[in-house]
A and B are shown apart, each in its own frame.
Chain A
């Protein structure tokens, strides 16, 4: 059997179409054999890159979802604690009113003790409220992480489109027919490349 340059062209076309998993048969001698060998080395490298990109692309949305869940749970926790804070504020206001109504003349030991406890309780309430500011710091940090994840997703998608990774097409349309759109905003050049790749 004679192997022509056509076979090498087929190998190169397979690479351009994202066929990284199919091994090339090595039948060439001399310079053509060398070229075929280099093409196969490129295939193996692209195979590793495409598997890594595919794997990353599948993990990134899960990471983004986890971060969003943490943010939601933190907000939910804050709301629960804030309800308690508001109850404490209301109790504090009532205690202040009662102590005020007892008048400054009331100097019995018990009342003095009550004033002391009320003052301490107010400081505790102030501390509790201010420490809740951690939630805002957490929210801002998580938003930064979400931004970074979004950028990673975009770069990975760009890589997959550029390498015309076939598995990516399935992740877009979904095996069960459902649309699994990536959670990133695509720029026009990437949209055009995707449209081309999906044809």
Chain B
């Protein structure tokens, strides 16, 4: 079960998606939600203040989601942060690449709320 006070970082270059994910997480009880427009800005935010959970898109300018994931796993201070990828990239090779990079779970867009809840329950049992 997740702690509703945990700090969550939502990373997506589309403001519409950031609003959707923020809205969903808020409805599910999360209270502290930050946002970043790309992987590099997300990494900068994480280094300022470590989040307890990261939700990230794949395709973003400057630094992609997979690059962000690798950077998080390579950083001793951040490597244990759960990362959920929420992305339109649905090919097997993408999923394998994400798993190899250390993703905690993977959701394909468009998605439904039940899928999000199931993935959260798996990440925070």
Contact = CB atoms under 8 A, between A and B. Distances in A.
**Binding partners A and B:** yes
Contacts of B88: 136-137, 140-141
A94 to B, nearest CB: 14
A139 B57 CA distance: 14
Contacts of A134: 109-110
B19 A82 contact: yes
A126 B113 CA distance: 6
A124 B111 CA distance: 14
B16 A135 contact: yes
A129 B114 CA distance: 11
B113 A78 contact: no
Given A75-B16, A82-B19, A130-B116, A137 B109 contact: yes
Interface string B16-34: 1101100110111000000
A123 interface: yes
B20 A140 contact: no
Interface of B is mostly: helix
B14 interface: yes
Contacts, number: 63
A133 B110 contact: yes
Contacts of B105: none
A62 to B, nearest CB: 27
A74 B54 CA distance: 28
A127 B23 contact: no
B27 A125 contact: yes
B27 A92 contact: yes
A78 to B, nearest CB: 6
A150 to B, nearest CB: 17
B59 interface: yes
Nearest to B27: A126
A141 B59 CA distance: 12
B110 A127 contact: no
A122 interface: yes
Contacts of B113: 123, 126-127, 129-130
Interface string A106-134: 00000000000000001101110111111
Interface string B84-125: 001010000000000000000000011111111100000000
A87 B116 CA distance: 22
A122 B111 CA distance: 17
A89 B109 contact: no
Interface of B: 12, 14, 16-17, 19-20, 23-24, 26-28, 59, 86, 88, 109-117
5 contacts: A85-B23, A130-B20, A130-B112, A130-B116, A132-B16
Interface of A: 75, 78, 82, 85, 89, 92, 122-123, 125-127, 129-137, 139-141
